Amino acid sequence: MDLRSNHPVGSPRWATRRAQWRVLGVRPDDLERPKIAIVNSSSGLAPCFSHLDPIAQHVKDAIYAAGGLGFEIRTVAPTDFIMAAGRGGGYVLSSRDLLADDIEAVVEGAQLDGMVCLASCDKTTPGQLMAAARLDVPTVVVSCGYQSCGILDSGERADIEEVFIRAGHVARGGTSVEGLCDLADRAIQGPGVCTGMGTANSMHIMAEALGMALPGSTPVRADSERMWDAAREAGRAIVELIARDLRPRDIMTPAAFQNAAHALIAVSGSINCVKHLRAIAREGEVDVDFGRCMDIAADSSRALAAVRPNGEDTIEDFEDSGGALGVLAALGANIDGSVATVSGGTLGEAVAAFRAPPDSIIAPLDGAGEGSATILILRGSLAPTGGIVKLSVSEERPSSFRGPARVFGSAVDAIDALDAGEVRRGEVLVLRGLGPVGMPGMGMASNVVFAANGAGLTEHIAVVTDGQLSGLVNKGIVVGEITPEAALGGPLDVVETGDVIEIDIGRRSIDLRVPGEVLETRRRHASPTGTAPGPGWLSLYASAVEDLALGAVVRPAARRRIHPTAVARVETEDVACRIP
């Protein structure tokens, strides 16, 4: 093969590489093989990453058997539950981009020929796919699986999602500390990512829907035979991709992103996938508006599975029903089968070969069952370029909400107000200053939502925020990731307590019912809401991150921080608001 990793025999670059690699055990006759990065975010900080080292070795052996030469490289290992403790959670999303840069520095610096990416916790999969799209070298994503969970004495399932939710009930007495400790001690019984349809499993599925993971490989039990088989097959597949010169930009086409939008709707996945898919498209310079992809998918697809916390089905039930491939098959004509996959074949060929088990929990799109899309992009005078709402699959869905705002600039203040009983029924809790620039790094608003749930207010208030939400949030009306964010001068920045906010799910709209001239007066005297970035990585991130509606991608010169449509004048019946 004509490989970029090979240099003329006898040249200084060839000689020094030979010297470096020979001491690592590379034989002289192996130096002409394709050089492949095995991207590993192994870490002892969380169970999401604790099992990756043996998988990396397994992939390395498979690559060698297929004719390649694997080199393991390490990256930052972002994990929400551990790393969200510092700086308001700003290190979590921002580490996605740091991970992509980690990969670029090694793969481009060493001029390696391809990558196998070991996908684990929430931000690793999107960061790896962003790097693949940016570098455009042949890449295979391997899902490294979800953890096993425990059972309480009552027979109730104990998992990390339930720990997160019930922790919000302690302050109001809904859960005792002892009961929470018992739940936490039993929730995780092995390595891997969270068991529910949160961001990690959702993004593993998105990798397969995009064609970047082997068909039929997601989701998967960690350390299971299926996981090891997929890792071994990835070693063969990456060598073949390099031989065929089939690259991520050949696979992740606009049609592939539309397929991913349909799949995201069908599994009722994490809303965080929307910004990640936008970022991947941005890095790959794909000519696609993923917000529009979501609109199209919401018009013609619906939730076909109700995996916890969306319903009572387990991720194990979902995997046994065919997982991502089962969903793609059930979506029928909504899926473009002509798109390529890393298997070397098309998605249509993989779907045609799939046979659903008789006890599948995945419903056919055209079969019995009712419902509509549970993930919707809302737009209006409060969110000119959009906000995202996720509704329940199994519970009665609210259709609209109108009420006065109660504004908070931090999650701590909002939770204190909820604990003190200061947030009243009928109000819209507004939490701002948590966007990628405002935090910086994007703050987590889920703890506020769970505190509201613990206070018994979920069905009686709405929550609106420019922060990010856990993939677990699906109760009541919660609109997250409002864009433009408050720190970029979005309308959220000039909302005052008492202003009326109207949310209409049917119309997919969210509007601030305040006269335009009042807003303009406020804007002239407003200072953008946010936290001073301070020194270090988050300061660099805040200075270079683009608008969330573009995926919150870090650019060296941040040429377009605000989505271009945000500069247009947004008008409703009684509101006119202009973003400067």
Q: Is 513 helix (H, G, I), strand (E, B) or coil?
A: coil
CA 479 – CA 509 distance, rounded (Å): 11
Q: Which two tokens stand for residue 97?
A: 């981009």
Given a contact cutoff of 8 angstroms between Cβ atoms, the answer to whether 401 and 434 are in contact is no
CA 73 – CA 393 distance, rounded (Å): 40
CA 433 – CA 83 distance, rounded (Å): 19
Catalytic residue list contains 321? no
CA 540 – CA 141 distance, rounded (Å): 29
Q: Is 36 helix (H, G, I), strand (E, B) or coil?
A: strand
CA 205 – CA 554 distance, rounded (Å): 24
Q: Is the dihedral of CA 35, 39, 43, 47 positive or negative?
A: negative
CA 362 – CA 339 distance, rounded (Å): 23
Q: What phi and psi values does residue 571 have, to the nearest 5 degrees?
A: -125, 140
Given a contact cutoff of 8 angstroms between Cβ atoms, the answer to whether 42 and 49 are in contact is yes
CA 147 – CA 194 distance, rounded (Å): 6
Given a contact cutoff of 8 angstroms between Cβ atoms, the answer to whether 192 and 147 are in contact is yes
CA 536 – CA 523 distance, rounded (Å): 31
N- to C-terminal Cα distance for the chain?
Answer: 53
Instruction: Tell me the chain's radius of gyration from C-alpha atoms.
Output: 24
* Residue 346 DSSP code: B
Alpha carbon of residue 342 to chain centroid: 21
CA 143 – CA 480 distance, rounded (Å): 27
Alpha carbon of residue 575 to chain centroid: 33
Q: Is 65 helix (H, G, I), strand (E, B) or coil?
A: helix
CA 424 – CA 445 distance, rounded (Å): 19
Catalytic pick among 154, 394, 470, 543: 470
CA 394 – CA 475 distance, rounded (Å): 10
Q: Is the dihedral of CA 228, 324, 73, 18 positive or negative?
A: positive
DSSP letters for 484-505:
S-GGGT-GGGG--TT-EEEEET
Q: Is the dihedral of CA 283, 286, 291, 295 positive or negative?
A: negative
Which residues have a catalytic role annotated? 470
